[in-house]
Every structure is written in C-alpha cells, then in structure tokens.
C-alpha cells in the first residue's frame, strides 16, 4: 500500500484531499506545518495557527488517520520571512506563496515526508498533474485545476520535475462547491471555514504591520506624474534587431522629483508596491491615485491619477538567466529561440497572449496587450493550453 503524507492546513481543501486519498486506498498520514513563533516579529494578537492545527487534528480524527504537527518555523524564517524583508528593502515585491511552495511545502516538508517513508506528498491545491512519455523518459505535466475560478497552478510555478514526481493533487478535478459539499456530507469541522487569507499559512497577517517591525518608517514625498508627461512620449529609435527593441520596451521609465508635483508624504517607499491604491492618504484628485513607481534609494513614491495612467502599462518584461525556471525542462528555450504562450503576472489574472524570446542575457516576455503594474520580484508564469510550462522572477 502506498503511503501519502497530506499537508493538513486546517482548511477545507486539504481535509477533502485527505479523505479522497483514503478512499483511493492509500495509507494516509496528516501533518500540520507550524511555521511561525518568532516573538520579535509579532503577527497578530490572535493565534490562528493554534486554531488551524486544532481543526486539522479534528479532521484527522474524523477520517481515522494518524496526525502530527511539524515545526518548520526556523526554515520558514530563513527561507521566506528573511527573503521577504530583503526584497522589500530592495524595492521589489516578493511573492511568499510561490516561494513557500517551492522552499517549504515541496522541499523541507517533502523531505520530512519521504523520511517518514512516504511515497507521495499531497496538498489541497486546485491543480492537476499528468505524465507523458517523451523519448522514453517520463515527463510530468502541471495542469490547471478544473475549477477555473480557483485554479492555483500559478502558486506552483516554481516546482521541479523531481518535486512533481512525488506530488499528488487530489482535488484538482473538483470545483470548490463540490469540495465543500463533500466536507459537509462528512460533517467535517472545516466544511464552512472561510478560505485563508494572509501570508502563506502564517494566518491573518497585515503586511504593512509586519514589514514595519523590521523596516523602520522613514518619511518621504509622494510625487504625482501627469498623464500627458513627456516621459511617456518617447521617440522610438531605429532598432537594428528584435533584441534591441525588446530591451528598449522592457525598460521602465526613470522618474525624478521635478517630473511632477508633490502631493503629500509617506512613511517609507519600501512599504508600497506598483499598482497600489490604498494607503496613500492623498485627497483632492478627480480619480484615485495609483503608485506607478517606488524609489527606495531616494525614498520617493511616484503616483499617477486613474487606473489607465500610462505609467502603469508596459508590453514587455525581462527575466534574468538565473531566475528562469522550466517545469518542463524538455521545452527549455535556447538562445535565439521563441515560443508562443499564454502568460500571467499575478494570481487570479486571466491568461494573456504573449511570446517568449530567449536571448544571451535572459528571457523577454512580450505581451500582445499592455500589462498593468508589471512588478519586480513577482513571478511571471507561462502556459500552453492548460499546462504550466515555466516561470521566472520579473527583473
């Protein structure tokens, strides 16, 4: 009998995943990952992980499977929290959920599971896996979940073939309502539990509060850039080749304080991210202000009025060579090659038509339509039909 270790998070998705595996005849063990107990950075007065681990335990009892809690908070701090502070300090916007899957659930946690003699690790992600034979090699495919509204393949965009080989996604063929229905029929305590928000399984975290504890507030100015600024009327030079054009189009606009007018003050550019609207506390404009750029060195935030402001939009983004990741190694692009794909630059975004161009320097992703708030540090993931082929960190 094959042994599967399920990451029971105390939510409805992983609860139903565990049930389905048991029904399929696996030997199932539930493990709850505890990822936080650093009192130097408090998260909130409530203690959501206690409540969650308790729910996970009740589910395991109900399903009649063994259960234990594993403390991964040290690795979580090293690999996720410290990385987040580092990225924010550099003025980038990290995606802890993607990292958390790559570094914690499918790495640290997976190693623990395999040491416990597991054949597989399973999670409650809405995605699917299949395998194909390619030139005599077994190749794993990461596919979108059946529930289009809940598809979570994006969060797994950094997984490797080795990680996929050992992973199972039992609820990938179901929709959220179907999952809730199964949980209700089984009378599981998690059946009506709201979906977790906040930092990848640390619980209810407000990011600014969290950041403020390590990144000290520092007053700076907010500069508003007019829509008709000459910065957006750049003459297109004559390009000698495609790469020159891509490089030009992927470059962001460089702003200075005298490009616009001072609208107010902020408490630290590193708390803000491109495309952000909340938290600026500036009134008196016809349309709301959006952050179009942050400058952490000068501690200035540049804003634009309205969500169609030209400062928010670009066609092309760039990924450095060392930050390109192929889930499908066999499809890796070589220098000079290109590929038509569908891509997204954030979770929940509809897939957009794009072309990948591999150059000596790295990978350009050129979209057919302009994309709003392309943000450094976030992940771009590319697909063909319902398969996620690879991803990269936006540079």
157 is catalytic: no
For residue 129, give every residue at least 6 positions away whose Cβ sits within 8 Å of its Cβ, in sequence order, or none.
140, 141, 142, 143, 164, 167, 168, 169, 172
200 is catalytic: yes
Helix, strand or coil, per DSSP, at residue 95: coil
Alpha-carbon distance 378 to 73, whole Å?
23
246-249-253 Cα angle (round to 5): 145
335-to-38, 359, 364, 367 alpha-carbon distances in Å? 45, 5, 11, 19
Alpha-carbon distance 4 to 259, whole Å?
58
150 secondary structure, DSSP code: T
Alpha-carbon distance 120 to 303, whole Å?
48
Strand 167-168 with 120-122, pairing: parallel
Of 24, 23, 21, which Cα lies nearest the Cα of 4? Answer: 21
CA atoms within a 13 Å half-sphere pointing along the CA-CB vector of 155: 20
Four-CA torsion 10, 13, 19, 20, nearest 10 degrees:
-160
Of 43, 3, 45, 48, which Cα lies nearest the Cα of 31? Answer: 3
Residues designated catalytic: 100, 200
């Amino acid at each position: 009998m094959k042994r599967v270790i399920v990451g029971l998070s105390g939510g409805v998705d992983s609860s139903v995943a565990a049930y389905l595996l048991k029904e399929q005849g696996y030997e199932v063990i539930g493990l709850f990952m505890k990822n936080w107990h650093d009192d130097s950075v408090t998260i909130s007065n409530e203690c959501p992980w206690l409540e969650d681990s308790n729910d996970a335990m009740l589910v395991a009892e109900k399903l009649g499977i063994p259960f234990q809690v594993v403390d991964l908070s040290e690795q979580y701090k090293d690999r996720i929290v410290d990385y987040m502070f580092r990225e924010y300090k550099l003025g980038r916007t990290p995606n802890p959920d993607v990292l958390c899957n790559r570094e914690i659930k499918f790495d640290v946690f997976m190693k623990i599971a395999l040491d416990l003699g597991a054949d597989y690790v399973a999670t409650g992600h809405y995605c699917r896996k299949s395998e194909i034979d390619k030139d005599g090699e077994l190749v794993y495919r990461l596919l979108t979940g059946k529930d289009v509204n809940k598809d979570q393949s994006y969060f797994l965009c950094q997984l490797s073939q080795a990680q996929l080989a050992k992973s199972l996604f039992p609820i990938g063929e179901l929709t959220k309502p179907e999952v809730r229905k199964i949980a209700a029929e089984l009378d599981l305590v998690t059946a009506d539990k709201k979906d977790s928000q906040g930092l990848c399984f640390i619980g209810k975290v407000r990011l600014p509060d969290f950041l403020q504890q390590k990144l000290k507030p520092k007053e700076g100015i907010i500069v508003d850039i007019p829509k008709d600024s000459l910065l957006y009327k750049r003459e297109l030079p004559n390009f000698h080749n495609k790469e020159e054009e891509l490089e030009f189009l992927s470059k962001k606009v460089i702003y200075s304080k005298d490009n616009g007018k001072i609208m107010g003050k902020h408490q630290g550019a590193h708390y803000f991210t491109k495309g952000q609207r909340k938290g600026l506390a500036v009134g008196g404009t016809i349309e709301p202000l959006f952050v179009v750029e942050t400058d952490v060195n000068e501690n200035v935030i540049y804003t634009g009025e309205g969500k169609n402001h030209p400062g928010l939009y670009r066609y092309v983004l760039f990924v450095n060579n060392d930050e390109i990741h192929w889930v499908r190694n066999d499809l890796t692009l070589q220098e000079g090659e290109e590929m038509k794909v569908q891509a997204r630059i954030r979770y929940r975004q509809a897939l957009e038509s794009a072309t990948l161009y591999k150059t000596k320097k790295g990978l350009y992703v050129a979209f057919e339509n302009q994309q709003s708030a392309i943000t450094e540090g976030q992940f771009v993931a590319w697909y063909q039909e319902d398969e996620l082929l690879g991803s990269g960190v936006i540079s």
